[in-house]
Structure 1
Amino acid sequence: MPVTRRNFLKGALALAGSGMGGALSVPALMTLLPPPVVRCNPDEAYDSLLYKRREPGAWYEPMAGKAARKEDFKLNQAAMVTWAPKELEQELGTCEVVLTLIKLPAEDAMAEWGIANDGGNTMMMAYHTYKCPHLCCKPVFMEEGVSSLSGGSYETMFLCPCHLSRFDPLSIVEDTDELGRQVMVAELIEGPAPYGLPIVPIIERDGELIGQTDKLEWLKYCGQG
């Protein structure tokens, strides 16, 4: 019998009913899901990071659908961008993902993965906020806040609204995902996420910010890939 999403879910439910479901965590089960069947139009693929449409009130709303450029941003300013390179369908089983692009104070660990700006004092970085590594909610960028877990205040963090995992975009570290792969991430500070929030390496081409596709395995979780 071919492995389909329906057959897999039936098997997973049967396993849980027999008392064996606890052997696999929810994120581990989701990584075993075959990617959804999609049919992307190759003529609509793009590797530039485009400002997300239908974001009323966002500072980048007037530029919706246009390619992001580093000069558009102020320090610690974030924007939601879409990214749809042709490799996504084969590697992740989707046509497009949403990332968060931010201009941050430069840190040494960012140099290999982002775009330097302002004489090297700032860096443009892209983060895979499409899905949290915990239970696949969508983390959001917070300029400041107070942790509901520890009670401490924080600045410039990603926060998962579902279970309050918090990730530091200024601290880029190597982490290990649930399948044992080495992944470059925004460091997990607190919360139930099993590891940090993956980054997407970017380059600059003709002034536009471009997502690199050579690290798509970092994004293979929560049923993607």
Structure 2
Amino acid sequence: MPVTRRNFLKGALALAGSGMGGALSVPALMTLLPPPVVRCNSDEAYDTLLFKEREPGTWYEPLAGKVARKEDFVLNQAAMVTWAPKELEQELGTCEIVLTLIKLPAEEAMIQWGISDDGGNAVMMAYHTYKCPHLCCKPVFMKEGLSSLSGGTYENMFLCPCHLSRFDPLSIVETTDELGRKVMVAELVEGPAPYGLPIVPIIERDGELIGRTDKLEWLKYCGQG
């Protein structure tokens, strides 16, 4: 009989019920279950960045499901996009993730990671807002706000709504994650996050914006990878 999660649990419960389980309780046995197996459909994989569907009231709602292009954006405009390259299953254990794509004023540190636009005055950048490095909440892009931690005002930054970590998308820096790996991130401005918000390098192919998969190790945190 194949060892599946269901058969494993049935056998473990039978063992506990017969008195042979020793000190193992049912909750303890549950922790021994193998992790769920992800099975992505390779035919549904895509490396393009697609405007996220079911986002009512957003400026990009009419573009839902379409491939993002730099001409879709104006300066300091953000959109949530989905990304599902086939490498995600092996590297991160998931089939699809959500990123935030923004057109920002160009800074030198951004050029090798994003797509230049507007004669070099702007750059398209993608950020891993799927999970905050702190406790895995989902940061959001804020056009402006008032910090509950410092009391200061801010513009065009990422804010984690759970514990108020704030990240500057204009300041791309190299840092070290909790496992000692070098990661390129939007710099942490304030809050309890251990480091900044990782970026996803992008390229342009025939006018379409594409996520690069050569830096997926930057996204291996909060149970991914």
With structure 2 as the length reference, what TM-score do the two structures score?
0.85
Q: Counterpart of 1:115?
A: 115
Question: Displacement, 1:54?
Answer: 0.2
Whether 2:48 is the aligned partner of 1:48: answer yes
Q: Could you say which structure has the larger radius of gyration?
A: 2
**Structure 1 residue 91 and structure 2 residue 91: aligned?**
yes
Letter in 2 for 1:169: P
Does the alignment pair 1:140 with 2:140? Answer: yes
Q: Secondary structure at the match of 1:54?
A: coil
| Alignment match, 2:181 | 181
Number of the residue aligned with 1:193:
193
Partner of 1:75: 75
SS in 2 for 1:62: helix
Matched, 1:219 2:204: no
1:82-138 Cα shifts (integer Å, max 9, x gaps): 000000000000000000000000000001100000000000000000000000000
Tell me if 1:63 matches 2:60. no
SS in 2 for 1:99: strand
CA distance in 2, matches of 1:54, 1:113: 28
CA distance in structure 1 between the partners assigned to 2:35 and 2:63 by the alignment: 32
Q: Unpaired runs of 5+ in structure 1?
A: 15-33
The aligned residue for residue 104 of structure 2 is 104
2:65 alignment partner, SS class: coil
* TM-score of the pair, normalised by structure 1: 0.85
- CA contact 1:35–1:93 (8 Å) conserved in 2: no
Q: CA deviation at 1:37?
A: 1.7
Q: Please tell me whether residue 165 in structure 1 is matched to residue 165 in structure 2.
A: yes
Task: Give the AA of the match of 1:123.
Answer: V
| Residue 35 of structure 1: how far off its partner (Å) | 6.6
Aligned CA distance change for structure 1 residues 38 and 190 (closer, same or farther; 3 Å): same
Q: Distance in 2 between matches of 1:36 and 1:91?
A: 15
Work out the number of aligned pairs and report it: 199
Q: CA RMSD in A?
A: 1.9
- CA 1:91–1:36: 2 relative to 1, 3 Å: farther
Percent sequence identity is 85
State the 1:36 CA deviation.
Answer: 4.3
* Mapped partners of 2:127, 2:116: distance in 1: 16
Q: State the one-letter code of the partner of 1:140.
A: V
Between 1 and 2, higher relative CO (CA 8 Å, sep ≥ 6) is seen in: 1
Tell whether the 8 Å contact from 1:133 to 1:222 is kept in structure 2 after alignment.
yes
Structure 2 gaps of 5+ residues are 10-23, 29-33
Once residues 36 and 113 of structure 1 are traced to their aligned partners in structure 2, the CA distance between those partners, rounded to angstroms, is: 33
Q: 1:208 to 1:190 in 2, by over 3 A?
A: same
Separation in 2, partners of 1:58, 1:145? 19
Q: How far does the alpha carbon of each residue in 1:189-220 deviate from its partner, in whole angstroms, 9 at most, with x for none?
A: 00000000000000000100000000000000
Classify the secondary structure of the residue corresponding to 2:199.
strand
Deviations 1:13-50 (A, max 9, x none): 98xxxxxxxxxxxxxxxxxxx87421000000000000
* CA contact 1:35–1:92 (8 Å) conserved in 2: no
Mapped partners of 1:196, 1:37: distance in 2: 30
Distance across 2 between alignment mates of 1:58 and 1:94: 26
- Letter matched to residue 203 of structure 2: I
Which amino acid in the other structure matches residue 152 of structure 2?
A: G
SS in structure 2 at match of 1:200: coil
- The separation in 1 between residues aligned to 2:39 and 2:111, in whole angstroms, is 36
